[in-house]
């Protein structure tokens, strides 16, 4: 069937043009930092229960050319799905605020698997990461709040990012990008019902998004066509899943700086919506005696409540999505490690007692500043009536409140140590990630992975 005459002006064609811009050495260095962040998250996630289950599944697959976290070398498709899933297990993966999604655990596994199969250079791999981030973030920024109410943006927008990364590595012309985006978009899925039950489906969302995008690009590579107007068409992605949103917003301001620079790093192992409240609680900790706290008020934006108002968390996942628990452990113990959200911490009497004193509400200026800014304030009332308040307009790790490169490295090392990777090996993995921008090969990095 002939393509419609408007193909050159379609949103997918224009998005491909934006993604095909030149990537600089500085851009590659930024991409390498995100690879390091993802590696730490993926190795630690692979050691957790969902990662172990996925590794067991992967071991039933034939051997192949691509490394799978926890399962040796398997096929391209198994590697993409499993590696895509494990990077999100601990809720520490990178995040773009206004797109409200996590680019790293979808884009990087697809790019890594494609780069391994293609024996691509590190420069080509990092270029693919930058371009994949651009596509997934631009789609995510355009889908609108009604989409996010029901749909998991990382899952639905992720296939576009994975497809862009793979198209870049496969060296496809614009026609191939359009076909890949079309078939990526028609596979988009992922419902937020997964947040209401103690299950592992959210990880499957990410893995399937990476798999769907890579599959779409690999098929486009050999001439498999896809819908040109998947985004703006009358029965396309936006018409079906994004009421009130404009697909042409995806290609607004086409020459702005790469979106990877707008992507935030997450220092704490909790939902990003809980981070500004954690930061505010940490700011207050040196000023108060946690034992004298009578009442704690958290004021933030509405989505933080929709996802993280869990006064009585019963599982580690609940705890990671609980403002009450996150603030309690930060006030009591300081910067929260992974263990702060495990069953032992949930069962602590001091944590439970303080958690019960935490109330949460949506309030200004945080409600109207969201999603451009993820902010919160925490107010503590002590036994003597003294009140202390800390206001955090932006979470640590956001562009306005950046986590330095040394902090990203330290986070990755901590995560690898939690997965029992010996210190010397973890250091070598971190060095190899950052050295990708200087020409270290993808194969050298992969050879170090557990």
Do 231 and 285 sit in the same domain of this protein?
no
pLDDT of residue 8: 72
Q: What is the CATH number of the domain that holds 295?
A: 3.30.1330.120
pLDDT of residue 2: 44
Decide if 138 is inside a domain: yes
| pLDDT given for residue 5 in this prediction | 41
Residues 21 and 158 occupy one common structural domain: yes
Q: Which structure tokens are listed for 39? A: 């590696």
Q: What is the longest distance spanned by two Cα atoms in the chain?
A: 77
Helix axes 405-418, 423-435, angle to 10 degrees: 140
pLDDT at 198: 87
Residue 261, phi then psi, degrees to nearest 5? -75, -15
Q: Is 102 within the bounds of a domain?
A: yes
Residues 234 and 382 reside in one and the same domain: no
Domain end point (choices 261, 286, 302): 261
Distances (CA, A) of 93 to 86, 90, 108, 201, 426: 10, 8, 11, 16, 18
pLDDT at 281: 98
How many domains in the chain?
2
For residue 235, give the CATH number of its domain: 1.10.4100.10
Q: Give buried/exposed letters for 238-264 (b at 16+ CB in 10 A, else e).
A: beebbeebebebbbeeeeeebbbebbb
Domain that holds residue 349: 272-392
Q: How far apart are CA 89 and CA 443, in angstroms?
A: 25
Q: Tell me if 400 is assigned to some domain.
A: no
DSSP state letters, 151-216: B-HHHHHHHHHHHHHHHHHHT--HHHHHHHHHHHHTT---BGGGGGSSSSHHHHHHHHHHHHHHHH
Q: Are residues 187 and 101 in the same domain?
A: yes
Shared domain check, 293 and 164: no
- In this structure, are 310 and 220 located in the same domain? no
Mean pLDDT by 10 residues, the chain (450 residues): 61 98 98 98 96 96 93 95 96 94 98 96 98 98 96 98 98 97 98 92 97 98 98 97 97 96 96 96 94 96 96 94 98 95 96 97 97 96 96 96 96 96 97 96 94
122-142 helix and 11-19 helix, angle to the nearest 10 degrees: 140
Q: Final residue of a domain: which of 206, 232, 261?
A: 261
Per the DSSP assignment, residues forming a β-bridge with 390 are 378
Exposed / middle / buried, residue 93 (Cβ in 10 Å: 0-12, 13-18, 19+): buried
Final residue of a structural domain among 373, 392, 411: 392
Give the integer Cα–Cα distance in Å for 383 and 394: 29
Q: Is residue 318 domain-resident?
A: yes
Q: Is residue 429 part of a domain?
A: no
Nearest to 443 by CA among 163, 105, 124: 124
Q: Are 56 and 186 in contact (CB under 8 A)?
A: no
74 and 205 part of one domain: yes
**Residues 247 and 305 occupy one common structural domain:** no
Contacting residues for 69 by C-beta, under 8 A, at least 6 apart: 42, 43, 45, 46, 51, 55, 82, 83, 86, 449, 450
The model carries a pTM of: 0.92
Q: Is residue 448 part of a domain?
A: no
Looking at the structure, tell me whether residues 222 and 329 fall in a common domain.
Answer: no
How far is residue 346's CA from residue 339's CA, in Å, rounded to a whole number?
10
Q: 3-class SS at 268?
A: coil
> Does one domain contain both 283 and 206?
no
Are 334 and 388 in a shared domain? Answer: yes
Residue 91 is assigned to a structural domain of this protein:
yes
pLDDT at 413: 97
Beta bridge partners of 389: 379
**Rounded Cα distance, 272 and 286, in Å:** 23
On whether residue 397 sits in a domain, the answer given is no
> 119 and 34 in one domain?
yes
């Amino acid at each position: 069937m002939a393509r419609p005459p408007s193909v050159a002006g379609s949103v997918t064609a224009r998005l491909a043009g934006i993604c095909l811009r030149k990537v600089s050495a500085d851009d590659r260095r930024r991409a390498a930092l995100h690879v390091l962040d993802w590696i730490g998250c993926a190795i630690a996630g692979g050691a957790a229960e969902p990662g172990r289950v996925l590794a067991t599944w992967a071991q039933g697959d034939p051997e192949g050319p691509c490394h799978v976290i926890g399962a040796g070398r398997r096929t391209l498709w198994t590697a993409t799905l499993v590696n895509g899933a494990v990077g999100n297990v601990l809720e520490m993966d990178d995040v773009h605020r206004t797109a409200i999604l996590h680019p790293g655990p979808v884009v990087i596994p697809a790019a890594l698997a494609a780069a391994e199969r293609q024996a691509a250079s590190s420069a080509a791999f990092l270029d693919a990461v930058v371009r994949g981030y651009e596509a997934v973030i631009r789609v995510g920024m355009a889908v609108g709040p009604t989409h996010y109410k029901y749909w998991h943006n990382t899952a639905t927008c992720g296939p576009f990012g994975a497809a862009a990364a793979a198209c870049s590595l496969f060296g496809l012309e614009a026609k191939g990008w359009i076909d890949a985006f079309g078939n990526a978009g028609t596979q988009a899925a992922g419902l937020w019902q997964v947040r209401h039950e103690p299950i592992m489906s959210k990880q499957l969302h990410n893995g399937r998004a990476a798999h769907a995008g890579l599959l779409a690009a690999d098929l486009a590579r050999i001439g498999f066509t896809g819908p040109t107007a998947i985004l703006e068409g009358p029965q396309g992605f936006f018409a079906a899943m994004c009421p009130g949103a404009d697909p042409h917003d995806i290609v607004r301001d086409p020459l702005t700086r790469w979106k990877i620079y707008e992507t935030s790093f997450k220092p704490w192992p909790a939902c990003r919506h809980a981070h500004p409240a954690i930061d505010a609680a940490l700011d207050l900790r040196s000023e108060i005696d946690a034992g004298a706290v009578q009442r704690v008020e958290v004021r933030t934006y509405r989505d933080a409540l929709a996802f993280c108002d869990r006064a009585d968390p019963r599982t580690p996942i609940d705890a990671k999505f609980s403002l009450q628990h996150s603030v309690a452990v930060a006030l009591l113990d300081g910067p929260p490690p992974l263990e702060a959200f495990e069953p032992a911490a949930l069962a602590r009497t001091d944590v439970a007692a303080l958690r019960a004193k935490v109330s949460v509400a949506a309030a200004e200026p945080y409600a109207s500043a969201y999603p451009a800014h993820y902010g919160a304030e925490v107010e503590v009332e002590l036994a003597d009536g003294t009140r202390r308040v800390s206001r955090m307009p932006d979470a640590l790790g956001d562009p306005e409140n950046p986590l330095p490169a040394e902090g990203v490295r330290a986070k990755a090392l901590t995560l690898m140590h939690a997965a029992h990777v010996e210190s010397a090996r973890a250091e070598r993995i971190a060095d190899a990630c950052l050295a990708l921008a200087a020409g270290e090969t993808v194969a050298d990095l992969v050879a170090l992975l557990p």
